[in-house]
Chains A and B, each alone.
Chain A
Amino acid sequence: MLDIMLSLLGEQILSLSVLSLVRELITEVHIIEKLAESGDLKSLHKFIELLFSHGVISNEKYDELMLEIARIARLQGEELRKAANKLAKRLIETISEICNDEELLASLHKQIETLHTSGVISNEKYEELMLEIARIARLQGEELRKAANKLLRQLRALKDGRGYR
């Protein structure tokens, strides 16, 4: 399973769909936790390197995670297992954030297009909502998700005929 995941990250074009698949492997098969439990720091190291080389994580995030690996490498037994599990959780959060952010933006974008093409919203409202997406596109992580959910509620209200069109 690890081979499949590393090959997805290493050999294929890292599109959002591939990244989503990797996220599924991590969350459904718990591959990172298993690596951590077995103390396989080499594979965790490789995993972080691939995320960095594909631009999924920033320089800062890469340094931060690698420093964490170095800290974990000093530990043994139960302490190592606990620390590695913590790192695994952070990796999962990082990948989920990237996937969710882009998926959310694309989904909001498509919903506004649909509302416009089906005549639910006016041209002015369409422009206003697209500008709101641009504002959300400046954010990331939790901030982005909060703002996206707020816009999503607004879109639902418009769809149900409850909002200003």
Chain B
Amino acid sequence: MAEGIGEPYFDMIFRRLLEEHGINYLPPGTVRSVDYVLSRDMIFVELEDTTDEIYSAITQLLSSVIPIAELYNAYVVIAIPTPRDPASLMGPLQRFYIRTWKRRIKRELWIISAVKKHMIKIIQYGVNPSPVLQEISHIIEVTVKDNGIIPDSELIKIVREIRKFIRK
């Protein structure tokens, strides 16, 4: 499974993953404009098929999900299939933090590989990772400055680490 496989297919894979791990969820359409709400811990998940779609997803999340997520200081997650090249994540990841920085939410980016049955969670340094799918998750922590800026060196480090993990 790789970037560009098509959102319906990615959705099916993601749903199967949740079911395999016994995670309760509210399926697409239950909550307006959000793909999944993982019910136990209020984790809002937006699935995107390709990395460039993350830019418009951020606007959509800001307009719909984030105002609700702020009430619970909940996790807001953007999940994508393994990108063709992890370097393509640097811009979208930076934009995600910049545009949501003043909002009281916990942000994560998930990279899901159905083939290898594992995922990468990119989380902010010092914030607890979301308490689901831990057994198949590899955590990458990112240092974020006060204004939401992720230093260049951090972005490069993340890319290297994702590449290393994917090659395993």
Please give the residue numbers on chain A whose beta carbons come within 8 Å of chain B beta carbons, in ascending order.
Answer: 13-17, 19, 53-56, 58-59, 98, 102, 105-106, 109-110, 112-113, 116-117, 123, 126-127, 130-131, 133-138, 140
Contacts and interface: CB of A to CB of B under 8 A. Distances in A.
B142 to A, nearest CB: 12
B60 A16 contact: yes
Contacts of B59: 14-16, 19, 55-56, 98, 102
Contacts of B32: 13
19 contacts: A13-B60, A14-B59, A14-B60, A14-B63, A15-B59, A16-B56, A55-B67, A56-B59, A58-B102, A102-B59, A106-B52, A109-B55, A126-B85, A127-B159, A130-B87, A130-B88, A130-B91, A134-B94, A135-B152
B82 interface: no
A58 B102 CA distance: 9
B52 A109 contact: yes
B51 A131 contact: no
Among A19, A53, A134, which residue has the most Cβ atoms of chain B within 10 A? A134
Interface of B: 32-33, 51-53, 55-56, 58-64, 66-67, 84-85, 87-88, 90-95, 98, 102, 148-150, 152, 155-156, 159
A134 B90 contact: yes
Main secondary structure of the interface of A (DSSP, over half): helix
A102 B159 contact: no
Contact of B98 (A54, A117, A138): A138
A110 B52 contact: yes
Given A109-B91, A113-B88, A133-B90, A13 B63 contact: yes
A132 to B, nearest CB: 9
Given A54-B62, A55-B63, A137 B155 contact: no
A113 B91 CA distance: 13
Contact of A127 (B56, B87, B98, B150): B87
